[in-house]
Amino acid sequence: MDLNTLWFILVTVLFIGFFFLEGFDYGVGILLPFLGRDDIERRVIINSIGPVWDGNEVWLITAGGALFAAFPNWYATLFSGFYLALFVILLGLIVRGVAFEFRSNDRSPAWRKLWDNMIFIGSFLSALLWGVAVTNLLKGVPIDANMQYVGGFWNLLTPYTLVGGLTTLLVFTLHGALFLTLKTTGDLVERARLVATRVGLLAIPMVLILALLTYSNTDLFTKPGAALVLIASAVFLVLSWLLVRIGRSGWAFISNGLTIVLFTIAMFWGLFPRVMVSNLNPDWSLTIYNASSSPYTLKVMTVVALTMVPIVLLYQAWTYWVFRQRVSDKHLHY
């Protein structure tokens, strides 16, 4: 395995971690205005992700940094071509972060409702647009011989990519509902479980539609391994829905998490060794070789990554362990 392949795998792992962890963050934010019947319940819902939401976003920052350093041409083409979509995602993340911090600064119901809505909007837009972005990478976008994106924003919105966006939106919402069944108490647990079963009924056919459109719009199914992983992700989604129906919420959360992990692996596996597909000419696609940094840069980065990544993983694991208990109104500070 050369360093180019190693760094492609590392970028994939970073996005897996981001989608798995930030996925339930998004889901909790999307469900906040609907599951929280009063201010106390909404505070409990927010507190369930309070100690970890900002740490989860570090995975995205690290993935962006890895792209910039290891594959600068991929970074440049992606961020210039997907500028507006990525700007909306960034805006959603900023709005969410501000809302989490500002919400409790005033006891006014109108004030708190405003920031609750901002949490919902930021979570909703980000969850939707990440699916649009990932499926665009696989489907292909207009890239010329100079690695320049020559399309516009509307080139990114096709039936296939919109289905991709709706899929991530529903799967992340399900992930958030399952997370709340594990982190809250009382009646809120049962309502979260009911929401999970209903969202799962929508997510399952959407994933199947996405798989069919992936077959007809991309070449992913020419790679048997990637196709099997994509099918396995759909199987785990069905299993998650069955498990939550019988009250096995913990296993349902793990199963839905595997859906997210396997879906991400399938998408990046379908890309490899490309990193962005050109739908103008396959020879103009960006690959792990023509989009990468110099071998020396990759060597230095590999040493840094092997040193620092395990420390970051241990710290985040410790954080989740410390805040592993369920959250209830008894933990609120009035």
pLDDT over 60 at 155, yes or no: yes
pLDDT over 70 at 333, yes or no: no
Between residues 261 and 307, the one the model is more confident about: 261
Band of residue 329 on the pLDDT scale cut at 50, 70, 90: low
- Mean pLDDT over 49-70 rounds to 87
Between residues 105 and 278, the one the model is more confident about: 278
> What is the C-alpha separation between 56 and 45, in angstroms, rounded?
17
User: What are the extents of the domains in the chain?
Assistant: 3-331
What pTM does this model have? 0.93
Share of the chain above pLDDT 70, in %: 98
The beta-strand segments (E) located in the chain are 274-276, 286-287
Question: To 10 degrees, what angle do helices 187-217 and 249-271 make?
Answer: 20
pLDDT at 308: 83
Q: Comparing C-alpha atoms, which of 294, 272, 297 is closest to residue 285?
A: 272
Q: Please give the backbone phi and psi of residue 268, each rounded to the nearest 5 degrees, phi first.
A: -75, -35
| Average confidence score pLDDT of the chain | 90
Q: 20-29, 96-105, 130-139, 287-296 — which is least confidently predicted?
A: 96-105
- Mean pLDDT over 43-50 rounds to 89
Band of residue 332 on the pLDDT scale cut at 50, 70, 90: low
CA angle 256/260/263 to nearest 5° reads 130
Question: Exposure string (b/e) for 34-43, b if CB count within 10 Å is 16 or more?
Answer: ebbeeeebbb
